[in-house]
Chains A and B, each alone.
Chain A
Amino acid sequence: MIEHLLVPILSGTIVAATPLIYAAIGELVAERSGVVNLGVEGIMLIGTVTAFAVAFAGYPAFVAGLAAAGAGALASLVFAVLALSLATNQYAAGLALTILGSGLSAFIGHNFGSASLKTIAKIHVPILSDLPVIGPVLFAHDAMTYLALAITAAVWWFLYRTKAGLVVRIVGEAPQSAHAIGYPVIFIRYLTTMFGGSMAGLGGAYLALAYTPLWVENMTAGRGWIALALVVFAAWRPGRVLLGAWLFGGVTVLQLFAQGIGIKVPSELLSSLPYIATIIVLVAISRNPQTLRLNAPVSLGQSFRPQG
């Protein structure tokens, strides 16, 4: 009995967390370099509609995923030109991008009515996938789920073990100093912003290709905002982003089950639980001022203009 509940809950947790992991880990890299892109929600929506359109046209899923990542990078390029080259306010430019993204996705998605896609294939690992409980929970997901984890690990390694990652961190901490010792601050921020955009695009693609392969408007339902919050409350650390995403996924699935068995609590309240729980837990574990001071990018959200 327990197994019948436990397996779908845990397995569902990992699935529900995946789009958040993509969006948050990409934004984390951008924020580490000092760029806050409030357009994550909009970019995810652009990714969703791109992936849906490409897959709907009959192309294989990995092409749809790549197209979504490309579209996300392109959308963030618009943001980058405004916020980095023209030094407009990052918050305003990001909000504008979110509005653009949601409008654009609704406009394009109009053509799909409520069409549906075939979900991408689950990977079957011999022996491992057949293990009881562990098999279906950990070894029966699609490639995009595993890719998200691989990217998280790669980002951690990049930030803390490579020189390029160190440069991203110092650009976020003190862009003037980084400029003074000869790093192209704006170019580096372009790269991190576009990485963030392509990851948000992939997160959106996951929603269309695997999570709910049925077109509905505004499929992200605020996940872009949660991803942004995750980055902050995870104190800009990849491992905590992963934890936060799983927590969010877990509570999402749990409250769905609770609604399913008809608990007498308003469904709106239950639906808001994952958001509340994630934020409370992350705030609680990231309260240490030392941690925040060491990890928070000091120049976050500030335009950089090289001074002579």
Chain B
Amino acid sequence: MSAYRLELCGVTKRYPGIVANDGISLQVGPGEIHAVLGENGAGKSTLMKIIYGAVEADSGDVLWNGEKVKIANPAAARRLGIGMVYQHFSLFESVSVVENIAVAMSGRFDLPALSTRIVRLSERYGLPVDPNRLLHHLSVGERQRVEIIRCLLQNPKLLILDEPTSVLTPQAVRRLFEVLRTLAAEGCSILYISHKLDEIRELCDTATVLRSGRVVGTASPKLVSAAELARFMVGAELPDVHRDPVALTPHPRLEAIGLSARSDDPFGTDLSDLSLAVHGGEILGIAGVSGNGQGELLSLLSGERTASADMIQLDGQPVGDLPVADRRALGVAFVPEERLGRGAVPTISLADNGLLTAHADGLVKRGFIDRQRVAGFAKAIISQFGVKCTGPAALAHSLSGGNLQKFIVGREISLSPRVLIVSQPTWGVDVAASAFIRQALIDLSRSGAAVLVISEELEELFQISDRIAVIYQGRLSRATSRTATNVEEIGLLMAGVGPAFQTAA
């Protein structure tokens, strides 16, 4: 009988062209909170899916309470007592909370009885949720509670959480940690996957660090500094961003005045009376939990949806009623949140993807595409922004997330825009590429452009923004200087607490 609840020995998983997990071994004891730390693409998610039975390992053993087990599917994992909270929830929008939970439970299908159990459990752990509400009415944080409750109802002996805090406000993170500590004290082991070093140092007993599919070491995160952990994870010194203050343009380059709009999506968020102003020379960051109107705001600013002309102004010129192409022609550039399918066409080459937004920059002559210049444009971006790829002919979807994002950001910056609007600039991007992209955004703003960044990562916003505002339920708080606020204050605003959102109702 082994003292470990879960033990992995030499687990290997290959995908065509890549070894996702290469001989991974780790041990988790009962009641231990164990971090799996690594960059995007280090193989964390694959490893968790192997433990949860969603992916089959090519070789290696999984030991559960000292016995070798074969976990063929998630149902088998649940029978052993393994629960998983996915980063992208495995929940269903069109059905109620209790139904979402019922589909994952074995046993009799008795919704009223299950509702009672849900309420009892949610009170015990301080995870309030109404079982009869339809899921699509819930905020992201509430949805995570549903996922956690769904796991807890099955009395797990091991709970896996994949990047659980990326959708939470700092205060909600603290509450989640309390729940996890309670669980661990009750003997449940926890595997906590993250790339956020501070959280791991605060919560976890042990950390296994992965890099390119291999275990590079184990550490006690409470004993080492965040910088040491970061070096461990990245394998190099962390690049830092630098910025110099510059004089702002006297008038805002981009302005939204009393922007209100109903969402196209019946489950979306309506914007109400939202105003912002970005001057040349600065970055304005917009924080907020996803689903609070970011998508709607972005589509209005980009021109995918139009508003009345005066609501959006570019250097004082009303542009609210102009479509995307006209706004681009006036010097506005965009980097949307979805890289594949919106920022770039996955199945065409980088060169053609460059052409998509830069066609007005002399790449087309008398209606004919100048192939040489198109390739040259892409080549320049590739070298200037350090995009790792086989060349301008590489298909967009063949690039890693970080490299494709560098290309897309590079393409937009190469247009020398007056205004750049970016959503989630470094979502799913590795540390080195993130730092590069952030620096590129700062440099663009310092050259006189107005940069608006919408992000859910507070750390990022505090690193690059000059001023920060918070979007909550379609309303925007007053932007405050980065140096005059802090994570705590912004976190409260993200939860809708604070005078900034009070309206005369």
Chain B residues positioned under 8 Å from A289 (CB to CB):
266
- Contact indicator A177/B74 (Cβ below 8 Å): no
Query: Is A111 an interface residue when CB atoms closer than 8 A count as contact?
Result: no
* Chain B 87-103: CB-based contact to A (< 8 A → 1; otherwise 0): 00111111100010011
* Chain A 234-271: CB-based contact to B (< 8 A → 1; otherwise 0): 00000000000000000000000000000000000000
- Contact indicator B95/A181 (Cβ below 8 Å): no
- Contact indicator A180/B74 (Cβ below 8 Å): yes
- Contact indicator A180/B54 (Cβ below 8 Å): yes
| Segment of A67-75, A161-169, A189-197, A224-232 engaged in the interface with chain B | A161-169
Query: Is B73 an interface residue when CB atoms closer than 8 A count as contact?
Result: yes
| Interface residue count on the A side (C-beta < 8 Å) | 22
The smallest beta-carbon distance between A169 and chain B, in angstroms, is 7
The smallest beta-carbon distance between B469 and chain A, in angstroms, is 30
Query: Is A174 an interface residue when CB atoms closer than 8 A count as contact?
Result: yes
Query: Is B436 an interface residue when CB atoms closer than 8 A count as contact?
Result: no
Query: Is B49 an interface residue when CB atoms closer than 8 A count as contact?
Result: yes
- Contact indicator A169/B49 (Cβ below 8 Å): no
Taken together as a complex, chains A and B put the C-alpha atoms of A295 and B136 apart, in Å, by 13
- Contact indicator B54/A177 (Cβ below 8 Å): no
Chain B residues positioned under 8 Å from A181 (CB to CB):
74, 90, 103-104
Taken together as a complex, chains A and B put the C-alpha atoms of A181 and B92 apart, in Å, by 11
Chain B residues positioned under 8 Å from A179 (CB to CB):
54
Chain B residues positioned under 8 Å from A162 (CB to CB):
109
The smallest beta-carbon distance between B135 and chain A, in angstroms, is 10
- Contact indicator A167/B94 (Cβ below 8 Å): no
Taken together as a complex, chains A and B put the C-alpha atoms of A42 and B92 apart, in Å, by 33
- Contact indicator A177/B78 (Cβ below 8 Å): no
- Contact indicator A182/B74 (Cβ below 8 Å): yes
- Contact indicator B103/A163 (Cβ below 8 Å): yes
- Contact indicator B55/A308 (Cβ below 8 Å): yes
Other-chain residue from A174, A177, A290 in contact with B266 (beta carbon distance below 8 A)? A290
* Chain B 366-377: CB-based contact to A (< 8 A → 1; otherwise 0): 000000000000
Which of A167, A177, A182, A289 is the most central at the interface, judged by chain B CB atoms within 10 Å of its CB? A182
Chain B residues positioned under 8 Å from A294 (CB to CB):
94, 134, 136
- Contact indicator B94/A169 (Cβ below 8 Å): yes
The smallest beta-carbon distance between A293 and chain B, in angstroms, is 5
Chain B residues positioned under 8 Å from A174 (CB to CB):
90, 92-93
Other-chain residue from A169, A170, A177, A182 in contact with B75 (beta carbon distance below 8 A)? A182
**CB within 8 Å of A: which of B58-96?**
73-75, 78, 86, 89-95
Chain B residues positioned under 8 Å from A178 (CB to CB):
90, 92, 103
| Interface residue count on the B side (C-beta < 8 Å) | 28
Other-chain residue from A166, A183, A293 in contact with B95 (beta carbon distance below 8 A)? A166
Other-chain residue from B92, B94, B109 in contact with A163 (beta carbon distance below 8 A)? B109
Query: Is A173 an interface residue when CB atoms closer than 8 A count as contact?
Result: yes
Taken together as a complex, chains A and B put the C-alpha atoms of A289 and B266 apart, in Å, by 6
The smallest beta-carbon distance between A300 and chain B, in angstroms, is 13
Taken together as a complex, chains A and B put the C-alpha atoms of A173 and B54 apart, in Å, by 19
- Contact indicator B95/A169 (Cβ below 8 Å): yes
Taken together as a complex, chains A and B put the C-alpha atoms of A183 and B78 apart, in Å, by 13
Q: Which residue from chain A places its CB closest to the CB of B56 in the assembled complex?
A: A308
Other-chain residue from B73, B86, B95, B136 in contact with A182 (beta carbon distance below 8 A)? B73
- What's the dominant secondary structure at chain B's contact region? loop
- Contact indicator A308/B103 (Cβ below 8 Å): no
**CB within 8 Å of A: which of B129-152?**
134, 136
Other-chain residue from A170, A182, A290, A295 in contact with B92 (beta carbon distance below 8 A)? A170
Chain A residues positioned under 8 Å from B49 (CB to CB):
308
- Contact indicator A295/B94 (Cβ below 8 Å): yes
* Chain A 272-295: CB-based contact to B (< 8 A → 1; otherwise 0): 000000000000000001100111
- Contact indicator B86/A163 (Cβ below 8 Å): no
Query: Is B166 an interface residue when CB atoms closer than 8 A count as contact?
Result: no
- Contact indicator A166/B90 (Cβ below 8 Å): no
Taken together as a complex, chains A and B put the C-alpha atoms of A170 and B93 apart, in Å, by 9
Q: A181-B90, A181-B103, A308-B49 are in contact. Are A293 and B267 (CB under 8 A)?
A: yes
Taken together as a complex, chains A and B put the C-alpha atoms of A77 and B424 apart, in Å, by 45
Q: A173-B92, A182-B74, A308-B46 are in contact. Are A167 and B267 (CB under 8 A)?
A: no
Chain B residues positioned under 8 Å from A182 (CB to CB):
53, 73-75, 78, 104
Chain A residues positioned under 8 Å from B78 (CB to CB):
182
Chain A residues positioned under 8 Å from B74 (CB to CB):
180-182
**CB within 8 Å of A: which of B90-126?**
90-95, 99, 102-104, 109
- Contact indicator B267/A308 (Cβ below 8 Å): no
Taken together as a complex, chains A and B put the C-alpha atoms of A98 and B205 apart, in Å, by 62
- Contact indicator B103/A170 (Cβ below 8 Å): yes
Chain B residues positioned under 8 Å from A180 (CB to CB):
54, 74, 86, 90
The smallest beta-carbon distance between A291 and chain B, in angstroms, is 9
- Contact indicator B102/A163 (Cβ below 8 Å): yes
Taken together as a complex, chains A and B put the C-alpha atoms of A87 and B266 apart, in Å, by 31
Taken together as a complex, chains A and B put the C-alpha atoms of A140 and B500 apart, in Å, by 69
Q: Which residue from chain A places its CB closest to the CB of B89 in the assembled complex?
A: A177
Taken together as a complex, chains A and B put the C-alpha atoms of A177 and B89 apart, in Å, by 8
The smallest beta-carbon distance between A235 and chain B, in angstroms, is 12
Chain A residues positioned under 8 Å from B265 (CB to CB):
293
The smallest beta-carbon distance between A307 and chain B, in angstroms, is 9
**CB within 8 Å of A: which of B427-469?**
none
Taken together as a complex, chains A and B put the C-alpha atoms of A178 and B267 apart, in Å, by 21
Q: A163-B103, A177-B91, A181-B90 are in contact. Are A293 and B266 (CB under 8 A)?
A: yes
Taken together as a complex, chains A and B put the C-alpha atoms of A170 and B90 apart, in Å, by 10
Taken together as a complex, chains A and B put the C-alpha atoms of A293 and B263 apart, in Å, by 14
The smallest beta-carbon distance between A186 and chain B, in angstroms, is 14
The smallest beta-carbon distance between A272 and chain B, in angstroms, is 33
Q: Which residue from chain A places its CB closest to the CB of B78 in the assembled complex?
A: A182
The smallest beta-carbon distance between B265 and chain A, in angstroms, is 8
Q: A174-B92, A180-B74 are in contact. Are A166 and B103 (CB under 8 A)?
A: yes
The smallest beta-carbon distance between B169 and chain A, in angstroms, is 25
Chain A residues positioned under 8 Å from B89 (CB to CB):
177
Chain B residues positioned under 8 Å from A295 (CB to CB):
94
Other-chain residue from B53, B94, B109 in contact with A173 (beta carbon distance below 8 A)? B94
Taken together as a complex, chains A and B put the C-alpha atoms of A289 and B53 apart, in Å, by 38
Chain A residues positioned under 8 Å from B99 (CB to CB):
166
8 A-B contacts, Cβ less than 8 Å apart?
Answer: A167-B103, A173-B95, A177-B91, A178-B92, A179-B54, A182-B78, A293-B94, A294-B134
Query: B residues within 8 Å of A by Cβ?
Result: 15, 46, 49, 53-55, 73-75, 78, 86, 89-95, 99, 102-104, 109, 134, 136, 265-267
Closest 10 CB pairs of A and B: A182-B74, A163-B109, A177-B90, A182-B75, A180-B90, A308-B55, A289-B266, A170-B92, A290-B266, A181-B104
Known contacts A182-B74, A308-B54; can you find 10 more A-B pairs with CB under 8 A? A166-B109, A169-B94, A170-B103, A173-B94, A174-B92, A176-B90, A181-B104, A289-B266, A294-B94, A294-B136
